[in-house]
Amino acid sequence: MSEVEGTPEGPKIGVDEWVARSEERSGVRGGRLAPLYARAERLPWWALLAAAVGVSALVPFISSSDYVIRVAVNTVLFALLALGLNVVVGWAGLLDLGFVAFYGFGAYLYALLSSSQFDLHFPALLSVSIVIVSSALLGLLLGLPSRRLVGDYLAIVTLFFAQIYVVLATNADRITLPWNDGPTDISGGPNGITDIDPISILGYEFGSTRSYLWLSLGVFAVVVVALQFINHSRTGRAWRALREDSLAAELMSMPVNRLKLLAFMFGAATAGLTGTIFASVQLGVFPQNFDLPLLITVYAMVILGGAGSIPGVVIGAITINVSLELLREPANARLLFYVAIGLGLVTLVRPWRKLAAICVGLVAFGIVAYQLAEWLRPAWVSGTIEGGRFAGLLDGWVIHPVDSTHLGNAGFILLIVAVLALTELRGIWRSILLVPTLYLAAFVWENRLVVEPSVTRILLLGALLVVLMSWRPQGLLGTSRVEIV
């Protein structure tokens, strides 16, 4: 977001009044969409929430495909996770890298309390309450050793905890207990725990995927309402003060340590609660459900949407989860890639003459490169492009060698170098280099990344975090920080 310069009659940049009126200034938007923004901002939060939940609840009536409903349930679960992480990272400014372990802890604890593993079949409401309380307590326990320390120690302790959690879940299937002969199977090991009771509340048993969608939307609404109230409470304001400057917050006699632990416990409890729904909708839990790629996914959701903003992280969760689902299939992944490139060009390249020149240059560059490659080495263009829509369009433009792995890998390394060089160049040279870089990106995408979607996901999420942090740390909907000079 561009910093608004102090107007001649307004306060000078950096003085108290300028800082105090920062939100007011950043709220003023120009352009043709300004009235829309203004109208959207006047809507009360509960109306937005009701609209979002209402529309999502209709998904089963729009599509009868079980896959679509399952993706919708996952998206809501991710939104819940992102909301929980947002309390810790976005509001309190603590880096919690063990977040998915709490999610896993919740899921496993629910699985232990309500399955045939120990033949305990607690009623769902009781299990869920136990899970929420114990997740919060576990968060407290883990936060205690780090409470006096700077945020970095908390990060490493929690990251280590996430690792330990996976080790325990994978290996706790043959623990020797003093009161039991022989090894006891607690977590089911790599096979996990299956045969988990479905959640049932007041006699109604949630059996189908669509009923779980409604359940998770209900939980989502409750969590959003709770968080909205907390955000505007004394505690919420204290968290934000802590995030901006914990030393200053302490001088204002805020109980900094207690606030940090409280934020941590809130995040853990939300994650635990989400874990229970996950366990019951999947009817099983496995150690690999809660590994580190999940962590970076949730982080990317929070950062992309805008850490600190409730609608922001929800939108981040929806965007990322839906995009990741689209990546699974080559045809959709291709569409996603070119739409993203196109959107990026349209928003970032000004004026439109330059944009048109780049587009024409890109097409021409591709055709020339293809002809050149065909003339040099026919094997470079005789590989197959993965099928699907648009594949025919790309024939004759993007090079697709027989040995796509090795050339694709070389292209990948070259692409990283080219992108890094782009950030260093200015002016006309940047536009000139942009054309071959985009072509290279298309080449690598078609030959390498489309083929390995699971790698591509993490690769893109990692790159997204790095790019967002230096380019737009407030994400899509967050507010930019006020720099106090």
Partner 1 sequence: MDWDFFVQQLVNGLTLGSVYALIALGYTMVYGILKLLNFAHGEVYMMGAFAGFGVLSLFGGALGVTINVVVLIGLMLAVAMIGTGFLGVAIERFAYRPLRNAPRIAPLISALGVSFFLQSSALLLFGADFRSYETYEYIDLASGIHWGPLNISVVRIAVILTAFALMFGLTLLVARTRLGKAMRATAFDREAAAMQGIDVDRVIVATFFIGSALAGAAGVMVGLVFYKVYHLMGFLAGLKGFTAAVVGGIGSIPGAMLGGLLIGLSEAFITGYVSSTFQDVFVFSILIVLLLVRPSGLLGKADIQKV
Please give the residue ranges that form the binding site for partner 1 (CB under 8 A): 89, 93-95, 97, 145-146, 148-153, 155-157, 159-161, 163-164, 167-168, 171, 243, 247, 292-293, 296, 299, 303, 409, 412-413, 416, 420, 423, 448-449, 452, 455-456, 458-459, 461-466, 469-470, 473, 481
Q: Among residues 49 and 313, whose Cβ is nearest to partner 1? A: 313
Q: How far is the CB of 135 from partner 1 (least distance, A)?
A: 19
Q: How far is the CB of 243 from partner 1 (least distance, A)?
A: 8
* DSSP calls for 238-287: HHHHHHH-HHHHHHTT--HHHHHHHHHHHHHHHHHHHHHHHHHHHTEE-G
Q: How far is the CB of 123 from partner 1 (least distance, A)?
A: 33
Q: How far is the CB of 151 from partner 1 (least distance, A)?
A: 6
Question: Which contiguous run of DSSP H or E holds residue 222?
Answer: helix 209-231
Q: Among residues 190 and 378, whose Cβ is nearest to partner 1? A: 190
Q: Among residues 28 and 177, whose Cβ is nearest to partner 1? A: 177
Q: How far is the CB of 478 from partner 1 (least distance, A)?
A: 12
Q: How far is the CB of 307 from partner 1 (least distance, A)?
A: 8
Alpha-carbon gap, residue 87 to 239, rounded angstroms: 9
Question: Which contiguous run of DSSP H or E holds residue 176?
Answer: strand 175-176
Q: How far is the CB of 410 from partner 1 (least distance, A)?
A: 10
Place of tokens 């209402």: 54
Question: Phi and psi of 115, rounded to 5°?
Answer: -155, -175
Neighbours of 66 (CB within 10 A): 12
Q: Among residues 159 and 322, whose Cβ is nearest to partner 1? A: 159
Amino acid residing at 136 = A
Q: How far is the CB of 469 from partner 1 (least distance, A)?
A: 4
> Cβ distance 146 to 157 under 8 Å?
yes
> Cβ distance 374 to 380 under 8 Å?
yes
SS3 content of the chain, % helix, strand, coil (to 5): 70, 5, 25
446's CB contacts (< 8 A; 6+ apart) are 334, 385, 386, 394, 398, 400
Residues constituting the chain: 485
Q: How far is the CB of 261 from partner 1 (least distance, A)?
A: 15
Q: How far is the CB of 463 from partner 1 (least distance, A)?
A: 6
Query: Residue 454's closest CA among 297, 279, 304?
Result: 297
Angle, CA of 25, 31 and 33, to the nearest 5°: 100
Q: How far is the CB of 414 from partner 1 (least distance, A)?
A: 12
Question: Which contiguous run of DSSP H or E holds residue 204?
Answer: strand 204-205
Q: Among residues 171 and 257, whose Cβ is nearest to partner 1? A: 171
Q: Among residues 62 and 413, whose Cβ is nearest to partner 1? A: 413
- For residue 259, the Cα-to-chain-centroid distance in whole angstroms is 25
Angle, CA of 121, 122 and 123, to the nearest 5°: 115
Q: Among residues 57 and 95, whose Cβ is nearest to partner 1? A: 95
Any bridge partners for residue 200, and if so which?
A: 205
Q: Among residues 314 and 449, whose Cβ is nearest to partner 1? A: 449
Alpha-carbon gap, residue 53 to 35, rounded angstroms: 25
Neighbours of 326 (CB within 10 A): 18
Q: Among residues 19 and 156, whose Cβ is nearest to partner 1? A: 156
Describe the crossing of helices 310-327 and 330-348 by its angle, rounded to 10 degrees.
130
Q: Among residues 151 and 361, whose Cβ is nearest to partner 1? A: 151
Place of tokens 């606030």: 259
Q: Among residues 53 and 159, whose Cβ is nearest to partner 1? A: 159
Query: Residue 111's closest CA among 305, 246, 284?
Result: 284
Alpha-carbon gap, residue 119 to 197, rounded angstroms: 11
